[in-house]
């Protein structure tokens, strides 16, 4: 789920950047007199400003929604705050180690009649 929302967030951000770069600024009216405004007729009589403004507002809203969703999804992950919280307890390690089920086959020396050496 995290990856889907993150991918959608990146795509919305790229589309938002593209739409903002395509829009004309307030000073573009002087440039439109020299022929750069002719391409606005593709979007109708009002030009592209209304369409691009609405689309930018919708994408900005979606961007904020996905930002909040990502903050919620990644905010619930508890990260260790110190090094001691990252150490695995000994009980957990003992549970992971498999001990043999039966007695070990260790050769045992036969009893001898020779007394043991005295300890010094």
Output the pTM of the full model: 0.50
Q: Which of 8-12, 31-35, 71-75 has the lowest mean pLDDT?
A: 31-35
In whole angstroms, give the CA distance from residue 99 to residue 96.
Answer: 9
Residues 6+ apart with CB under 8 A from 15: 59
Tell whether the model's pLDDT for residue 47 goes beyond 70: no
* Region 13-38 average pLDDT: 72
Tell whether the model's pLDDT for residue 22 goes beyond 70: yes
């Amino acid at each position: 789920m995290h990856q889907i929302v993150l991918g959608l967030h990146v795509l919305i951000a790229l589309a938002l950047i593209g739409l903002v770069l395509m829009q004309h600024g307030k000073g573009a009216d002087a440039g439109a007199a020299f022929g750069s405004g002719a391409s606005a007729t593709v979007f109708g009589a009002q030009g592209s400003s209304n369409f691009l403004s609405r689309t930018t507002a919708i994408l900005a809203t979606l961007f904020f929604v996905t930002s909040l969703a990502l903050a919620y999804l990644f905010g619930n992950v508890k990260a260790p705050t110190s090094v001691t919280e990252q150490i695995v307890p000994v009980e957990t390690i003992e549970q992971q180690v498999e001990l043999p089920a039966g007695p070990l086959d260790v050769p045992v020396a036969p009893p001898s009649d020779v007394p043991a050496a005295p300890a010094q």
